[in-house]
Amino acid sequence: MKKIIAVVIFCEFLICLGMSLIFPVMPFIKNEYHFSAFDMGVMSSLFAFVQFVASPVVGRVSDKMGRKPMLVWGLLIFSLAEFVFALANQLWLFNVSRAVDGLSAAMFVPTSMALAADLTSVKDRAKVIGWLSAAFSGGLILGPGLGGILANINYKFPFWVAGILGIVSTLVAMSLLPSDSDERFQSTTENPEGDLLSGGWAQVKKLLSPVMITLFLMIFIMAFGLAGFESIYSLYVNEVHNFDLQSIALVLTLNGIISLILQVFFFDRMVQWWGEIRVIRYCFFASAIGTVFVIYDHSHWQLIVATLVVFEAFDMLRPAITTLLTKMSKDNQGLLNGVNMSLTSVGNIIGPLISGALLDINYQYPYWIVIVFLMGSFIITFGLQRLRKQSA
């Protein structure tokens, strides 16, 4: 059982790593093929859009088709998408690659969660799903840094590496994952994305208290802000502050290391010291102030520090908001998780599109929009604290 779970965790980490390899090489792709910032925003949004649309359908298909075939095909499709990106020289091919990447993530991530639920007891399920979530987050966090390091050889080299590793993981999954006849599937496995499509929104409406509405709004703003900031960051610092590939890779690698340390060793303590609402408040404020420094500070080292403050604040925001959300309702955890994922996906779609379009107009506009939303959320946290006391 441990070997099976280890294989799934490894493969999930690999897919999420491939998702985020694109960020440090974006300015070089943009300059090489004379794309606009909006073109690059569309490229980033396509991944999130296809994943958002396909996830509910894939979850239901895996119940009928079987977990192992869905996982194996997801890995194979991921590999093909990476090879297409490495070979692409036209915008539509880059877009197709990112869309197919989103499909592979939709095929693998929800199915891996379902497999964990199928193979584990209720006692161990939360721990295993936590490992899968850590693999998901770790891949997204470390991907940009690794992509920047590998791109020193060639800016398309990271995608060749990801494609080859995808083929290896496909073969590993085919040989080590159990066949569906060996698995003890449970028909009661939660499918929050499916619940949202089959009347789940009616249940969500019943849960919509002022506190819940505020938290859902913050989830969207957090996803929108992070996607809007991160999707154009490499373009911004390359064109405005003349960051080369090594500098971009350094920032993103440091971010990955620091984020993992904060999430693993310090997040629980921060919540115990301050409580979720204060953690959320401080993170919104820190990310807004850090973004101001990113706009106006021209020293490379100070700019790197400001960038790390923004990224770490965002990385603390998501678990803090999610933790508070789960505490607000003892029931319907699967449904609430589905809403959480859906709002995150919508933010991931809209953020790069708006930031890319604004970057073509003025370099400062995208980040000022992000600052306005973040400061608005900072102010809302004071009202959230009062609402929570009233509902307690």
Tell me the per-residue pLDDT of 77-97, one tens digit each, with 9 for 90 and over: 999 999 999 999 999 999 999
**Rounded Cα distance, 381 and 99, in Å:** 36
**Rounded Cα distance, 193 and 206, in Å:** 18
Q: Which candidate, 224, 214, 202, places its Cα nearest to that of 352? A: 224
SS3 sequence, 339-362? HHHHHHHHHHHHHHHHHHHHHHHC
Residues contacting residue 175 through CB under 8 Å, at least 6 positions apart: none
Give the 3-state secondary structure of residue 264: helix
The encoded tokens of residue 11 equal 């493969």
Q: Which domains does the chain have, with CATH numbers?
A: 1-179 (1.20.1250.20), 192-392 (1.20.1250.20)
**Rounded Cα distance, 78 and 279, in Å:** 36
**Rounded Cα distance, 373 and 220, in Å:** 10
Amino acid, res. 353: L
Amino acid, res. 160: W
> What pLDDT, on the 0 to 100 scale, is given for residue 187?
40
Give the 3-state secondary structure of residue 332: coil
Instruction: Please list, residue by residue across 329-350, b when 16 or more beta carbons sit within 10 angstroms of its beta carbon and e when fewer do.
Output: eeebebbbbbbbbbbbbbbbbb
Considering only CA atoms, give the Rg of the chain.
20
- With beta carbons less than 8 A apart as the criterion, state whether 306 and 293 touch: yes
**Cα 221 to Cα 20, 328, 375, distances in angstroms:** 20, 19, 11
Alpha helices by DSSP H, 66-156? 67-87, 91-119, 122-150
- With beta carbons less than 8 A apart as the criterion, state whether 103 and 50 touch: yes
Give the Cα-Cα-Cα angle 389, 340, 59 (nearest 5 degrees): 145
- Spans in the chain with pLDDT lower than 50: 183-199
What letter would DSSP give residue 183?
A: S
**Tokens 């694109």 appear where?**
22
> What pLDDT, on the 0 to 100 scale, is given for residue 192?
46
**Rounded Cα distance, 98 and 82, in Å:** 9
**Rounded Cα distance, 17 and 7, in Å:** 15
Instruction: Please list, residue by residue across 182-213, b when 16 or more beta carbons sit within 10 angstroms of its beta carbon and e when fewer do.
Output: ebeeeeebbbbbbbbeeebeeebeebeeebbe
Residue 295 CA neighbour count, 13 Å, CB half: 18
> What pLDDT, on the 0 to 100 scale, is given for residue 96?
94
**Rounded Cα distance, 278 and 346, in Å:** 25
> What counts of helices (H) and strands (E) characterise the chain?
16, 0
The encoded tokens of residue 13 equal 């980490």
**Cα 203 to Cα 131, 198, 327, 328, 335, distances in angstroms:** 29, 10, 18, 15, 8
> What pLDDT, on the 0 to 100 scale, is given for residue 319?
79
> What pLDDT, on the 0 to 100 scale, is given for residue 32?
87
Q: How many CB atoms lie within 10 A of CB 26?
A: 25
**Tokens 């497999």 appear where?**
115
> What pLDDT, on the 0 to 100 scale, is given for residue 181?
63
**Tokens 């998501």 appear where?**
318
